[in-house]
């Protein structure tokens, strides 16, 4: 016997407390009773006339009708089947026996039992399909009407919330200063009435948002229960998790806003405590810790505490949200472990490190006051309040920086063993790597720094001096440990590495200009036909008429060379404005030209011969005397007195063409 047959036997045994064989014997001997209809949705599908065991036709019909109604109320995908077993036919739906057909039913219907069972199965299946479609349509329409009513109710709730809460916000803000009073401590206000009103409005907004989320969640859950396509979906836990997540985020947002508002108020209030709650720490008349430093430290502590609280709030919110979903519940415990382990390790390390930290703080405080004392000394040297023989004021700041660097390096060597992890191989390896990297990559920088230090104590120039370094000439605008910057007369800034400056020749035009004056010199070439005393007089007159040229010491002229066609005169004049050399040279040249042209003396540069033969003088027309005319050509004939070729024959020999030249 197979499992299906055993199932049917069990069902029939439960339904029929009598023997199947005895029932069929009694049915064959019992007279036919009145027929009873089997109904589906109030309509007759078939009629039964034969009894079954102790059940008469009416009881059988009622039982079958109830079974079919149950199938309609709980629709499934199972179809009707006909199963033959022990001389009877069974119409089943899944594991439910819908109807039993005996040979007595077949004889009364005048059909074979198997054929009658299949006819009944088809009739019931067709009617069930029609009634199921009608039942589903009515049920779906009913569910949609209910869902539409719920949606309308949700919209009404949102409208009511929108009408009530803005008025409630206005109501809360209207009681600012009446019921809501600022929180004070003595005469200091810690929380203002505006902050209290804003906080209450924030809570009201959070409540409104939470109610909106709850109403929306209930609408979605009702829709999932009403719609037949979503009844089998198991997303209710997910929706619950989403709802709780929103509530958690609302609470976290409110708490975060409170933290930010509180610490923002604290950071604004702390600077006002100077002179009231917070005073400078003094040792007799010496100020050890200024009040502004204490205030800055308190503001920094407030920022650190605010950051820690916000991070803790984010962590608690995240772990709480993880517990709302089944697939993330284990993440919460893991995240707690990830955070707790480093925090406990960090707390233990901090506690163990406190003695070393105290030592480093003491060294830092002592170093700070030592540097302050040294800075005072060098500031006195810079302002000439303190004087050392041979120590120049411009050395004070660079020397202070060098001394400060040496002190800090010494302190770093002392503090290094007390740093956390200084003995670890990783820390030592990184230190060695950085040292090698610095050594390899900073050779040129170190060379420039050393050159900058050497130049500082050589004092070849100072900021503002007019200098010439290699091929660059200009005013020094900045001198650092790495580069020297000069600005040319064309306003071009040139940065020269200090190593190049130290390796080049440096010309400083300002070094002696204040005491002795800078000598500007220029050369002119004058023909031999002009007396040299006249030239000296004109050059000195031009120098005296030039701005920025000093009258004392007086300018002087040197005769630099006796060239083939002219004499080279060098004019030397003193000035105390080296930074204006270009303009002074230009003015001096202009004055020389005017002076010589007014005197009718030619400047033979470029090469002009002093002897002229019919050519005009090379002097501008404005400077020539009135009625000036170019001299006539002078012709010297051979053999004539005054000629260049005296002693030669009066007529030259015939040339190749037989022509002769003569007067």
Work out the average pLDDT over 436-462.
79
Q: In this structure, are 106 and 136 located in the same domain?
A: yes
11 assigned to some structural domain: yes
Q: Sign of the CA dihedral 203, 208, 209, 213?
A: positive
Which pLDDT does position 662 carry in this prediction? Answer: 35
Cα separation, 435 vs 429, whole angstroms: 10
- Provide the percentage of residues in the chain whose pLDDT is more than 70: 80
Which pLDDT does position 539 carry in this prediction? Answer: 94
234 assigned to some structural domain: no
Q: Is residue 587 over pLDDT 90? A: yes
Q: Is residue 392 over pLDDT 80? A: no
Q: In this structure, are 80 and 104 located in the same domain?
A: yes
CATH code for the domain in which residue 470 is found: 2.30.30.60
Q: In this structure, are 119 and 56 located in the same domain?
A: yes
Which pLDDT does position 537 carry in this prediction? Answer: 94
pTM for this model (two decimals)? 0.41
Nearest to 585 by CA among 571, 595, 597, 598: 571
Work out the average pLDDT over 27-47.
68
106 assigned to some structural domain: yes
Q: In this structure, are 12 and 137 located in the same domain?
A: yes
**What's the CA angle centered on 26, arms 25 and 27, to 5 degrees?**
90
Q: In this structure, are 12 and 120 located in the same domain?
A: yes
With residues binned 3-state (H G I as helix, E B as strand, rest as coil), the percentages for the chain, rounded to 5, are 55, 15, 30
Domain end, chosen from 427, 444, 461, is at 444
Q: How many CB atoms lie within 10 A of CB 14?
A: 9
Q: Is residue 394 over pLDDT 60? A: yes
Which pLDDT does position 607 carry in this prediction? Answer: 63
The residue that leads in pLDDT, 30 or 66, is 66
The residue that leads in pLDDT, 619 or 368, is 368
Which pLDDT does position 196 carry in this prediction? Answer: 67
359 assigned to some structural domain: no
Q: Residue ranges of the alpha helices (H) in 505-622?
A: 532-544, 581-598
Q: Is residue 648 over pLDDT 70? A: no
Q: Is residue 400 over pLDDT 60? A: yes
Residue 93: pLDDT band (50, 70, 90) is confident
- Residue-wise pLDDT for 552-562, tens only, equals 889 999 999 99
Domain end, chosen from 99, 128, 143, is at 143
Which pLDDT does position 524 carry in this prediction? Answer: 92
Residue 645: pLDDT band (50, 70, 90) is very low
Q: How many CB atoms lie within 10 A of CB 543?
A: 25
The residue that leads in pLDDT, 101 or 239, is 101
Q: Is residue 14 over pLDDT 70? A: no
- Number of domains comprising the chain: 4
Which pLDDT does position 84 carry in this prediction? Answer: 84
362 assigned to some structural domain: no
Work out the average pLDDT over 136-143.
71
Cα separation, 617 vs 600, whole angstroms: 9
Q: In this structure, are 38 and 131 located in the same domain?
A: yes
Q: In this structure, are 112 and 11 located in the same domain?
A: yes
Residue 184: pLDDT band (50, 70, 90) is low
10 assigned to some structural domain: yes
The residue that leads in pLDDT, 624 or 400, is 400
Q: How many CB atoms lie within 10 A of CB 509?
A: 20
Q: Is residue 189 over pLDDT 60? A: no
**What backbone torsions phi and psi does residue 354 show, to the nearest 5 degrees?**
-55, -45
Q: In this structure, are 416 and 473 located in the same domain?
A: no
Cα separation, 81 vs 61, whole angstroms: 19
Domain residue limits at 430: 367-444
Cα separation, 153 vs 160, whole angstroms: 10
Q: In this structure, are 411 and 433 located in the same domain?
A: yes
Query: Which run of H or of E encompasses 303?
Result: helix 291-322
Which pLDDT does position 523 carry in this prediction? Answer: 92
Which pLDDT does position 234 carry in this prediction? Answer: 60
Contacts 24+ apart (CB under 8 A), 127-131: 127/40, 127/41, 127/43, 127/45, 128/40, 128/68, 128/71, 128/72, 128/80, 131/40, 131/41, 131/72
Work out the average pLDDT over 33-38.
77
The residue that leads in pLDDT, 125 or 232, is 125
Domain end, chosen from 89, 117, 143, is at 143
The neighbouring-strand residues paired with 180 are 176
Residues 6+ apart with CB under 8 A from 325: 237, 238, 241
CATH code for the domain in which residue 597 is found: 3.30.70.100
Quickly count helices (H) and strands (E) in the chain: 15, 17
Nearest to 191 by CA among 285, 86, 264: 264
Cα separation, 565 vs 6, whole angstroms: 146
Rounded-to-10 torsion of CA 161, 165, 166, 169: -170
Work out the average pLDDT over 409-423.
82
Q: In this structure, are 493 and 564 located in the same domain?
A: no
Across the chain, what does the average pLDDT equal? 78
Which pLDDT does position 646 carry in this prediction? Answer: 41
Nearest to 56 by CA among 32, 38, 79, 77: 32
Among the residue ranges 48-52, 154-158, 464-468, 513-517, the one predicted with the least confidence is 513-517
Find which of 148-162, 485-499, 639-653 is predicted with most confidence, using mean pLDDT: 485-499
Which pLDDT does position 6 carry in this prediction? Answer: 46
Among the residue ranges 310-314, 411-415, 543-547, 624-628, the one predicted with the least confidence is 624-628
Which pLDDT does position 634 carry in this prediction? Answer: 67
Q: How many CB atoms lie within 10 A of CB 36?
A: 19
312 assigned to some structural domain: no
Q: In this structure, are 124 and 24 located in the same domain?
A: yes
Starting at the earlier edge strand, list the strands of the sheet with 556-562.
Answer: 518-527, 566-575, 556-562
Question: Which DSSP symbol is given to 548?
Answer: T
Which pLDDT does position 186 carry in this prediction? Answer: 55
Nearest to 481 by CA among 503, 449, 458: 449
The residue that leads in pLDDT, 2 or 122, is 122
The residue that leads in pLDDT, 139 or 308, is 308
Work out the average pLDDT over 241-266.
82
Q: In this structure, are 486 and 607 located in the same domain?
A: no
Residue 185: pLDDT band (50, 70, 90) is low
- On the question of a cis peptide bond just before residue 553, with omega within 30 degrees of 0, the verdict is yes
559 assigned to some structural domain: yes
């Amino acid at each position: 016997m197979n499992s299906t047959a055993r199932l049917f036997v069990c069902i029939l045994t439960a339904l029929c407390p009598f023997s199947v064989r005895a029932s069929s014997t009694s049915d064959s001997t019992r007279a036919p009773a009145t027929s009873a209809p089997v109904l589906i949705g109030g309509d007759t599908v078939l009629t039964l006339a034969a009894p079954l065991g102790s059940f008469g036709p009416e009881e059988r019909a009622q039982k079958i009708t109830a079974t079919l109604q149950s199938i309609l109320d709980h629709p499934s995908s199972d179809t009707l089947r006909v199963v033959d077993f022990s001389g009877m036919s069974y119409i089943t739906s899944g594991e439910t026996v819908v109807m039993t057909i005996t040979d007595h039913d077949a004889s009364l219907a005048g059909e074979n039992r198997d054929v009658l069972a299949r006819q009944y199965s088809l009739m019931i299946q067709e009617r069930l399909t029609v009634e199921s479609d009608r039942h589903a349509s009515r049920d779906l329409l009913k569910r949609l009407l209910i869902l539409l009513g719920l949606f309308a109710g949700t919209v009404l709730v949102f409208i009511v919330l929108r009408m009530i809460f803005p008025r409630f916000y206005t109501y809360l803000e209207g009681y600012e200063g009446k019921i809501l009073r600022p929180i004070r401590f003595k005469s200091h206000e810690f929380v203002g009435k505006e902050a209290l009103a804003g906080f209450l409005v924030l809570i009201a907004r959070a409540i409104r948002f939470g109610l909106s989320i709850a109403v929306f969640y209930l609408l979605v859950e009702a829709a999932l229960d009403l719609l037949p396509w979503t009844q089998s979906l198991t997303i209710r836990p997910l929706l619950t998790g989403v709802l709780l997540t929103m509530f958690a985020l609302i609470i976290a947002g409110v708490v975060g806003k409170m933290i930010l508002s509180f610490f923002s108020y604290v950071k604004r209030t702390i600077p006002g405590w100077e002179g009231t709650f917070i005073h400078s720490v003094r040792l007799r008349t010496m100020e050890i810790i200024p009040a502004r430093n204490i205030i800055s430290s308190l503001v920094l502590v407030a920022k650190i505490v605010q950051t820690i609280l916000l991070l803790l709030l984010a962590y608690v919110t995240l772990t709480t949200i993880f517990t709302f979903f089944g697939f993330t519940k284990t993440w919460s415990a893991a995240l707690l472990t990830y955070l707790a382990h480093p925090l406990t390790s960090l707390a233990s390390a901090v506690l163990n490190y406190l003695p070393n930290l105290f030592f480093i703080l003491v060294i830092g405080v002592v170093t700070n006051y030592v540097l302050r004392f040294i800075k005072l000394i060098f500031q006195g040297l810079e302002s000439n309040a303190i004087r050392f023989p041979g120590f120049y004021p411009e050395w004070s700041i660079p020397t202070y920086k060098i001394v400060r660097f040496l002190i800090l390096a010494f302190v770093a060597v002392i503090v290094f063993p007390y740093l956390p992890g200084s003995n670890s191989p990783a820390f030592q390896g990184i230190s060695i790597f950085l040292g090698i990297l610095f050594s390899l990559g900073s050779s040129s920088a170190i060379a420039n720094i050393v050159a900058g230090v050497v130049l500082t104590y050589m004092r070849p120039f100072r900021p503002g001096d007019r200098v010439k370094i290699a091929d660059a000439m200009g005013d020094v605008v900045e001198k650092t440990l790495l580069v020297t910057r000069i600005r040319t007369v064309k306003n071009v800034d040139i940065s020269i590495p200090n190593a190049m400056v130290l390796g080049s020749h440096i010309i400083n035009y300002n070094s002696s200009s204040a005491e002795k004056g800078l000598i500007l010199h220029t050369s002119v070439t004058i023909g031999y036909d002009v007396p040299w005393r006249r030239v000296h007089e004109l050059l000195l007159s031009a120098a005296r008429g030039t701005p920025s040229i000093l009258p004392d010491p007086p300018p002087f002229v040197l005769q630099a060379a006796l060239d083939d066609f002219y004499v080279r005169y060098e004019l030397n004049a003193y000035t105390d404005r080296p930074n204006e050399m270009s303009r002074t040279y230009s003015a001096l040249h202009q004055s020389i030209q005017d002076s010589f042209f007014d005197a009718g003396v030619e400047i033979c540069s470029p090469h002009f011969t002093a002897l002229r033969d019919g050519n005009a003088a090379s002097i501008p027309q404005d400077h020539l005397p009135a009625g000036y005319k170019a001299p006539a050509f002078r012709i010297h004939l051979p053999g004539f007195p005054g000629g260049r070729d005296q002693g030669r024959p009066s007529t030259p020999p015939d040339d190749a063409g037989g022509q002769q030249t003569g007067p």
